[in-house]
Amino acid sequence: MNRPVAAPDTRDIEIERKRLTDALAETWKTPSGIWGALATVDHKIIGRRYIVTAFVFLGLGGVLAALMRIQLAQPEARLLGPDRYNQIFTMHGANMMFLFAVPVMEAVAVYLVPLMVGTRNIAFPRLNAFSYWIYLAGGTLLWTAFALDMGPDVGWFAYVPLSGPQYGAGKRADIWAQMITFTEISALAVAVELVVTIFKQRTPGMTLDRIPVFVWAMLVTSFLVIMAMPAIVLASTSLILDRLVGTHFFNPAEGGDVLLWQHLFWFFGHPEVYIIFLPAAGMVSTMIEPFARRPAFGYLGLVMALIATGILAFGLWVHHMFVAGLPRLGDSFFTASSMAIAIPAGIQVFCWLATLWDGRLVFKTPLLFIIGFIVTFVIGGLTGVMVASVPFDTQVHDTYFVVAHFHYVLIGGAVFPLLAAIHYWFPKLTGRMLNEALGQWSFWLIFVGFNATFFPMHILGLEGMPRRVYTYQPDLPWHGLNLFISLSAVILIAGFLLFFINAFRSARVGEVARDNPWDAPTLEWATTSPPPSYNFPMIPVVGSLHPLWDDRDSLAVANGLRTDRRELVVTTLAAAEPQAREASPRNSIWPLWAAIATTIMLIWSMFSPWAVVWGSVPVAVALMGWFWPKGTPEDES
Amino acid sequence: MIHLRRACSSALLAAPLAGCSGNWQSALDVYGTSAISLKHLIILIVAVCSLVWMLVMVALIAALWRSRDARPVSPEPGRERRLTIAVTGAVVATVLIISTFTIMSFVATRALSVAGQDELTIRVRGLQWWWGLEYIGPDPTSRFETANEIHIPVGRNVRLKLEGLDVIHSFWVPSLAGKQDLVPGRSNELTIRAEHAGIYRGQCAEFCGMQHAHMALLVIAEPQADYDTWAATQRQAAARPTDEETATGLQTFLAKPCAACHTIRGTAAAGTTGPDLTHVGGRRTIAAGLFETTRGSLAAWTADPQTIKPGNNMPMVPLTPDELRAMSAYLASLK
């Protein structure tokens, strides 16, 4: 790994382009072979892995959803027993929230944010590699447990006492709680990386008011992760302690409190919803520009709405507890705050409508998904206003009405934008275009299938069907709608299958993409599709919010970075003025060892508290290896 | 397996059955004071929200339609100003609607919590997976226990004291009132009042484990006189066996582990783990709403509770066919 100290003439300013790109490729490369793949810290490779893994979990979660719909298609069906069904709905919720929705948004950001801010790698790239391995381990733990009939069966929010030591037998609830620990660690790691990347690695000239809205959204989201996750760390750790070492945090007989769990969980759990939705909103604001052929209307309003949502997100958690018997006056405060969040959501919707109104629209698949998003998300937002009202909520809480509501918000509000984003950024991810005809087909199937599946659930809820029931009795008039829903789900599943087929096929034989196939204005399109390992041969300098539109012919570049070692430009927080050249770590296998050591410790600690003591020794060894100076050029700077 | 048909025949209850005309477990088919006012609120909010959605859709469709015209790409100040005015107007309208909803909701919440004079108090205990009921009267002699079937007089406020004994459950009879959780370590209350006589079904609304789906209850609202008759019957001890078969049934019940978990007042059976069976034959359903109570369903349930309701806390007690026949006859006789 040792290299001779570089001569001064290896600064990029002095050498011609070919030599420049060759030198950069050599410096930033990921060696081929399995070892190279395991040791890489390239944010693009890790981001792609993250995205693919998250979509695998989406597919698995979808299979569980299909099983539930087969079971519920008729009353008193015996396809699944209560034990298996309860594992399946818990797995579906936990998987979709913790292993798909949150990670996939962070995954897209891991790939895109460094490109959109014009830097060569994400901040703390080894931590990034570590976060992926930890995420993969958490997902594998959960699904392995499920395959062994040890899957959690207490619901994705695992209310005590049901998940406590007395009623949650075996290791099922521990597996849920420890899976949360894995996803906490990986989400916190990515959040820190993104905050630092966005604050300190923006390319020169990218002042605060020139940051793409998606990057703003990820900044707000990352702060939400950093502030919300400690609550769930506390909750899941206390639960494990109650279960493993006999503490009584949640045992009312010993002075504990059952509702403490709900407060802690939802103090995390409600911001969690915005951790999923804000990136999606940011994607829409960013993607709408090339398809409306104009800048998104109301940049300041869009960014302020994201920030306002992020702040309000912490003041709503009690609306999940309106029927738990808290003081009514307190409930009213949370009604007001929950209603208020409709205002920033409204601002964004109106800005998007204004953009579409004034734009010259290009009806490609991403725009279709954006339109589908507006149609369905507004429904989800309005039913959100409904359940924010305490009296309304006393009738629909924990019914299929709520199931409909949060699927409208999560699928309509987050998965539709995500699918738009995959269609939009696929060329940047793979170098090939997704097939447009298949894309439009999959949109229509998903859009029709989604609404036919989930809209009737509003009615079922009002007709008295509680959620999380493994069956219902034939004397209740829910049979017809349930059958209709199950049949509609076939259309929805067909749409997703078509999307997956399209992605597989296009990744291999799709039309080769140009650098900027959509004529988009943001920096990720200023490099090749897919980008080289060093992202940009020379660091672009921006003078506006839409550099590729406003400086169509030539983008200014910064120079002065070394090519023989990994270097980035660090800029000031507000004005993005160049501050320093900063070394960026090389590939390393140690994040993988650290992740394996952490995984062993966390799984072992479900069985013995001593795991925390002895299991931390390998973790410490791995961290020492991670940070030990290797004598690389980067260590010297 | 046996399914409970809707208990809608007039043979079951002389009073007109409001619940039978439509859905008997629905927030839209309402017969309780609070459920009626909640339904009005629900309809109003849904109507306003639907209107809002339609307006947004009109704007969206217009925007998509408009895009057929070719317009210059770059924004010009005049158009931007008009867009700003439109967006600002829409945001102001949102704020107004949201504020109105908040105030309406606040007023409706207050109306829910001041329910006036309570005339009857019932302790409702949520257990995996059935409902224990204790009627509390003005004096100790008027108290009695039953399970899974609440009788209330029409037109009177009934206060339910809700207690979760194991995990969290939620009491929800949508045709009468909104739901309220039963939380271990806390005592919650809910006041219900039926405006019409009828049978209303409810079921646990908070996931509570294996048989959450089969934790139903019935609320039977009846005229005061009928209620008084029923309550007087409930206060009495169990009917004595009248023939040899039922006498054998009682003996079997006491000899087998049954009595360790169930109470039959007037006999030696005094267990408290399972439902009070003193008048089990007079209740419309068994196993928390799973079956209509018949001698046959009682026998099927006793013979193999784990196949019928997997995971429930009643073990299978081995009985000979004769014992089973006698015991089901005895239990069915406990009107």
Q: What percent of chain A has a predicted confidence (pLDDT) above 70?
A: 97
Token duo for residue A264: 């802690």
Among candidates A162, A336, A471 on the partner chain, residue whose Cβ is nearest the Cβ of B213: A471
Same domain, B199 and B286: no
CB contact under 8 A, A385 and B25: no
Distance from CA of A325 to the nearest CA of B (A): 6
pLDDT at B14: 34
CB contact under 8 A, B167 and A82: no
Could you identify the residue written with the tokens 């120079």? A559
CB contact under 8 A, A258 and B67: no
Same domain, B151 and B223: yes
Among candidates B86, B201, B213 on the partner chain, residue whose Cβ is nearest the Cβ of A354: B86
Among candidates B94, B289, B311 on the partner chain, residue whose Cβ is nearest the Cβ of A82: B311
Could you identify the residue written with the tokens 């000239």? A205
Nearest residue to B155 via CA among B4, B23, B32, B3: B32
Instruction: Lowest mean pLDDT of A213-217, B73-77, B106-110, name the range.
Output: B73-77
The 10s digit of each residue's pLDDT in A497-512 is 999 999 999 999 999 9
Say which residue, A5 or A492, is predicted with more confidence.
A492
Same domain, B128 and B227: yes
Among candidates B87, B186, B209 on the partner chain, residue whose Cβ is nearest the Cβ of A298: B87
Which chain B residues are within 8 Å of A350, Cβ to Cβ?
86-87, 90-91
Q: Is A103 helix (H, G, I), strand (E, B) or coil?
A: helix
Stretch B105-124: mean pLDDT: 77
Among candidates A328, A349, A463 on the partner chain, residue whose Cβ is nearest the Cβ of B113: A328
The 10s digit of each residue's pLDDT in A18-56 is 888 999 999 999 999 999 999 999 999 999 999 999 999
> What is the CA angle A67-A69-A70, rounded to 5?
65
CATH of the domain at B326: 2.60.40.420
Token duo for residue A17: 């382009």
Inform me whether the C-beta atom of residue A112 falls under 8 Å from chain B C-beta atoms. Answer: no
pLDDT at B73: 57
Among candidates B5, B94, B201 on the partner chain, residue whose Cβ is nearest the Cβ of A342: B94
Among candidates A353, A360, A391 on the partner chain, residue whose Cβ is nearest the Cβ of B109: A391
Which chain B residues are within 8 Å of A357, Cβ to Cβ?
59, 62-63, 66, 83
Distance from CA of A469 to the nearest CA of B (A): 4
User: Is the separation of the CB atoms in A409 and A381 below 8 Å?
Assistant: yes
User: Choosing among A294, A323, A343, A459, which should be mutated to test the B contact, i.e. which has the most B CBs within 10 A?
Assistant: A323
Same domain, B316 and B271: yes
Nearest residue to A152 via CA among A141, B204, A271: A141
Going by pLDDT thresholds of 50, 70 and 90, the confidence category of residue B16 is very low
Stretch B212-222: mean pLDDT: 96
pLDDT at B115: 55
**pLDDT of B233 strictly over 80:** yes
Q: Is residue B18 part of a domain?
A: no
Say which residue, B152 or A551, is predicted with more confidence.
B152
β-bridge partners, A410: none
Same domain, B99 and B202: no
Inform me whether the C-beta atom of residue A621 falls under 8 Å from chain B C-beta atoms. Answer: no
Instruction: Lowest mean pLDDT of A221-225, B135-139, B182-186, name the range.
Output: B135-139
**CA distances to A74, B22, B172, B284 from B3, in Å:** 14, 19, 22, 13
pLDDT at B116: 62
pLDDT at A95: 97
Q: Is residue B91 part of a domain?
A: yes
pLDDT at B20: 45
CB contact under 8 A, A360 and B213: no
User: Choosing among B206, B297, B309, which should be mutated to test the A contact, i.e. which has the most A CBs within 10 A?
Assistant: B206
CB contact under 8 A, B181 and A477: no
The 10s digit of each residue's pLDDT in B282-301 is 999 999 999 999 999 999 99
Choose which CATH entry (1.20.210.10, 1.20.120.850, 3.40.50.9100, 3.40.50.300) describes domain A40-587. Answer: 1.20.210.10
Going by pLDDT thresholds of 50, 70 and 90, the confidence category of residue B257 is very high
Residue of B nearest to A477 (CA): B23
Between chain A and chain B, the number of residue pairs with CB atoms below 8 A apart is 253
Same domain, B183 and B147: yes
User: Choosing among A263, A385, A458, A470, which should be mutated to test the B contact, i.e. which has the most B CBs within 10 A?
Assistant: A385
Domain assignment of residue B61, given as a range: 33-113
Among candidates B27, B102, B290 on the partner chain, residue whose Cβ is nearest the Cβ of A395: B27
Could you identify the residue written with the tokens 């302790």? B123
Tell me the domain boundaries of chain A.
Answer: 40-587
CB contact under 8 A, B310 and A82: yes
Q: Which residues contact A437 (CB under 8 A, 6 or more apart)?
A: none
CB contact under 8 A, B183 and A335: no
Going by pLDDT thresholds of 50, 70 and 90, the confidence category of residue B11 is very low
Categorise residue B207: left if φ over 0, alpha if ψ from -120 to 50, beta otherwise. Answer: beta
Which chain A residues are within 8 Å of B113, Cβ to Cβ?
328
Q: What percent of chain A has a predicted confidence (pLDDT) above 90?
A: 89
Distance from CA of B335 to the nearest CA of A (A): 24
Q: Which residues contact B68 (CB under 8 A, 6 or more apart)?
A: none
Distance from CA of A295 to the nearest CA of B (A): 8
User: Is the separation of the CB atoms in A40 and A586 below 8 Å?
Assistant: no
Inform me whether the C-beta atom of residue A328 falls under 8 Å from chain B C-beta atoms. Answer: yes
Which residues in chain A (252-291) have CB-CB distances under 8 A to chain B? 252-253, 256-259
> What is the CA angle A345-A346-A349, rounded to 5?
90
Residue of A nearest to B48 (CA): A382
Same domain, B127 and B90: no
Q: Is residue B28 part of a domain?
A: no
Q: Which of B185, B203, B233 lies at the terminal end of a domain, its last residue?
A: B233
Q: Enter the DSSP assignment of B191.
A: E
pLDDT at B108: 81
Which chain B residues are within 8 Å of A93, Cβ to Cβ?
none
Which chain B residues are within 8 Å of A253, Cβ to Cβ?
185
**CA distances to A66, A408, A414, A571 from A445, in Å:** 16, 16, 17, 46
pLDDT at B70: 59
DSSP alpha helices (H): ranges in A10-119?
17-28, 34-39, 43-72, 82-94, 102-116
Q: Is residue B12 part of a domain?
A: no
Same domain, B142 and B224: yes
Q: In whole numbers, what is the pLDDT of chain A averaged over residues?
A: 93
Stretch B207-212: mean pLDDT: 95
Same domain, B301 and B278: yes
**pLDDT of A637 strictly over 80:** no
pLDDT at B76: 75
Which residues in chain A (70-99) have CB-CB distances under 8 A to chain B? 76, 81-83, 86
The 10s digit of each residue's pLDDT in A359-390 is 989 999 999 999 999 999 999 999 999 999 99
Which residues in chain A (190-209) have CB-CB distances under 8 A to chain B? none
The 10s digit of each residue's pLDDT in A57-97 is 999 999 999 999 999 999 999 999 999 999 999 999 999 99
Going by pLDDT thresholds of 50, 70 and 90, the confidence category of residue A617 is very high
Stretch B230-258: mean pLDDT: 94
The tally of domains found in chain B comes to 3
Residue of A nearest to B67 (CA): A360
**pLDDT of A542 strictly over 50:** yes
**CA distances to A279, A311, A420, A434, A444 from A285, in Å:** 10, 20, 12, 21, 22
pLDDT at A475: 87
**CA distances to A116, A188, A278, A484, A568 from A222, in Å:** 16, 8, 10, 40, 22
Q: Is residue B21 part of a domain?
A: no
Which chain B residues are within 8 Å of A360, Cβ to Cβ?
67, 70-71, 73
The H or E element that residue B144 is part of is strand B144-147
Which chain B residues are within 8 Å of A257, Cβ to Cβ?
185
Q: Is residue B125 part of a domain?
A: yes
Distance from CA of B213 to the nearest CA of A (A): 4
The 10s digit of each residue's pLDDT in A241-250 is 999 999 999 9
User: Is the separation of the CB atoms in B180 and A323 below 8 Å?
Assistant: yes
Which chain B residues are within 8 Å of A475, Cβ to Cβ?
3-6
Q: Is residue B261 part of a domain?
A: yes
Q: Is residue B7 part of a domain?
A: no
Same domain, B48 and B78: yes
Q: Is A586 helix (H, G, I), strand (E, B) or coil?
A: coil
Which chain A residues are within 8 Å of B38, Cβ to Cβ?
391-392, 394-395
pTM: 0.94
The 10s digit of each residue's pLDDT in A563-578 is 889 999 999 999 999 9
Inform me whether the C-beta atom of residue A521 falls under 8 Å from chain B C-beta atoms. Answer: no
**pLDDT of B318 strictly over 70:** yes
> What is the CA angle A442-A444-A445, rounded to 5?
65
Same domain, B168 and B265: no
Q: Enter the DSSP assignment of B284.
A: S
Residue of A nearest to B104 (CA): A389
Inform me whether the C-beta atom of residue A170 falls under 8 Å from chain B C-beta atoms. Answer: no
Which chain B residues are within 8 Å of A371, Cβ to Cβ?
60, 64
**pLDDT of B71 strictly over 50:** yes
CB contact under 8 A, B207 and A162: yes
Residue of B nearest to A75 (CA): B3
Stretch B18-22: mean pLDDT: 43
Categorise residue A33: left if φ over 0, alpha if ψ from -120 to 50, beta otherwise. Answer: left
